[in-house]
Homo-oligomer: A and B are copies of this chain.
């Protein structure tokens, strides 16, 4: 064995291989294709990557292993690993380095789960005017009298029949022309982009053209595969952003780029591979499914696959080249990373992006596997923290066409806010952080199987009823062993805060009510911090109680405080007390319970029926830009005319933020809450939170 390499085996997957000595366990896991959670992007602050170094199994695997083959215990590890767990060999994967052969066990909670993703297309009104149009033209064959070349011959036909002129074509497209023209017996179908450039020649008459709009979220990538001629959404394909392994939030990924020379390229390659996977899935679904040919009597087992079409279903049988247009949206960091534009400065005040304007990039220049002469339309950017995803939301929701004052909230890892009407629009972002999506919480996790997504707490008994992703039945209708709970995800997080408050388990200021008697409430024996058990060890698949701690509650309060304060300051800028309507975009908006959101004080008061979830509006915007070129113009208009306001520089930002962390804010929809929660002793408490109380 080489001296500078070490053998590492990961359990339970069994993946093994030589890695250079000195790499961290997280790096080793990447090299060997093992997915370990690294929500913070190896900044050593999330504690999600705890693994266990195994001993006493050397002989079984034929290698010498043990604790001595890792780097020394580090201060940072104390924060996440108790003395007891330290004793049993637990280490932090992003801190611990490989110094010799190792056998590493990755506990269930540290494994990066496959996310459950669902971003269906919404019905939105779009005018049909795609960037890629299809024209059919017949021409005369060349003669000695009229020996004009193929391209000029076809262009003349297009001008005569359709009035399109001054067309160009790139070299890839021109190469198709002579054979297409002759194969089609001097008739050809021409795909034209923006009435400027031919991007495809096909022999004879073809009527269809297809496109795909992809919303590149920090966590989820959603593709809407559309018929460009009918605007029909043929298929929706989603995928977890493959960059998640480099860090959960945008700052973690920017950090990964800054710490690794090839970090940007690796992250870009991964997302491009993801886009190509989405494209391939979309194409694959246009073919009938294949099944293994049945063995007939007396025949050998056949390896042949045969098509088994469903009755009544038409199959398009498309190829990658049949996708002729693509639009992409995403926040500024996702945009920059995908395009390999240095995202470093987007992460530093005053957060200038490399470019605002939309881009038209040849798909081949990005390695996107559709028709190679087609363009990727990349939506424009408003500001460093208000990206192309927000522009997508705007062109889908069109607040610039309305007299109403709309407050549009896109809650992802950052909260992006837009407020205004046809006369003026301002935008801002607030550092909600990833807490609302489950990161940074003791048992926070992505919306994957085992994640608690809904919670109800009985105000009298404090019994917890909950539902996990992957199981339809709630806890009270199930056996403990069937729940297999693993953690809590975004939609469960707002539930838990509202329910804890309404049940009187926490006070207005977010601290645990120490007087409660529930056996679920306790002090953690290690940290001495109060915590509340959401699911008992018997309900879990990780053999531990799933709890929410005082620190977790603080994280959620910080997030919701940032969001609320942002909204208040923006309203003030516009001279408004309340918005006329609130639109919540993003997966969060789809799952959140409007009533609980108002209880929590997530955003300013508004009539509950004027609060609307607009789903993946960023994706809808990409789709609108795919099907209507005018939307591309509007997008660029938005990117330069929506005024970005930096809220953190407002004089009383800190005061607003502090106030906004309290629970609940008064709402006209829930006047009973003015009475405060139902536990004596905290009722009516209105003590303002001091800054000190929120110090770490």
Contact: A644 with B147, CB < 8 Å? yes
Measured between C-beta atoms, what is the minimum distance from A616 to chain B in Å? 26
Contact: A350 with B142, CB < 8 Å? yes
In the bound complex, CA of A351 to CA of B143 (Å): 9
Q: How large is the interface on A (under 10, 10 to 19, 20 to 34, 35 or more residues)?
A: 35 or more
Contact: A174 with B355, CB < 8 Å? yes
Known: A144-B350, A152-B355, A169-B355. 16 other contacts (CB 8 A): A142-B350, A143-B350, A144-B349, A148-B352, A149-B355, A150-B345, A150-B353, A151-B356, A152-B356, A153-B352, A171-B361, A174-B339, A174-B359, A175-B339, A175-B342, A364-B365
- Which of B144, B179, B354, B365 touches A150 (beta carbons < 8 Å)? B354
Interface membership of chain A positions 354-374, coded 1 if the CB is closer than 8 angstroms to chain B and 0 otherwise: 111101010011100000000
Measured between C-beta atoms, what is the minimum distance from A640 to chain B in Å? 8
Q: A170-B365, A365-B170 are in contact. Are A354 and B144 (CB under 8 A)?
A: no
Interface membership of chain A positions 173-185, coded 1 if the CB is closer than 8 angstroms to chain B and 0 otherwise: 0110111001000
Is A630 an interface residue when CB atoms closer than 8 A count as contact? no
In the bound complex, CA of A142 to CA of B351 (Å): 8
Chain A interfacial positions (CB closer than 8 Å to B):
142-144, 147-153, 169-172, 174-175, 177-179, 182, 339-342, 344-345, 349-357, 359, 361, 364-366, 381, 383-384, 644, 646, 649
In the bound complex, CA of A153 to CA of B355 (Å): 9
Q: A178-B344, A342-B178, A349-B144 are in contact. Are A354 and B149 (CB under 8 A)?
A: yes
Contact: A354 with B177, CB < 8 Å? yes
In the bound complex, CA of A81 to CA of B356 (Å): 72
- Which of B149, B178, B340, B357 touches A175 (beta carbons < 8 Å)? B340
Contact: A150 with B352, CB < 8 Å? yes
Contact: B356 with A171, CB < 8 Å? no
In the bound complex, CA of A381 to CA of B150 (Å): 12
In the bound complex, CA of A565 to CA of B142 (Å): 26
- Which of B149, B175, B351 touches A381 (beta carbons < 8 Å)? B149
Contact: B149 with A352, CB < 8 Å? yes
Contact: A384 with B341, CB < 8 Å? no
- Which of B178, B341, B646 touches A178 (beta carbons < 8 Å)? B341
Q: A341-B174, A342-B178 are in contact. Are A147 and B352 (CB under 8 A)?
A: yes
- Which of B143, B171, B172, B350 touches A147 (beta carbons < 8 Å)? B350
In the bound complex, CA of A353 to CA of B352 (Å): 49
18 A–B contacts, CB within 8 A, in A order:
A142-B350, A144-B349, A147-B352, A149-B353, A149-B381, A151-B354, A151-B357, A152-B356, A153-B352, A172-B365, A174-B339, A174-B355, A174-B359, A175-B341, A177-B354, A177-B355, A178-B342, A178-B354
Across the two chains, which residue of chain B brings its CB closest to A177?
A: B354
Taking CB atoms, residues of chain B closer than 8 Å to A148 are 352, 356
Taking CB atoms, residues of chain B closer than 8 Å to A345 are 150, 178, 182
Taking CB atoms, residues of chain B closer than 8 Å to A349 are 144
Contact: B171 with A365, CB < 8 Å? yes
In the bound complex, CA of A175 to CA of B336 (Å): 9
Taking CB atoms, residues of chain B closer than 8 Å to A352 are 142, 147-150, 153
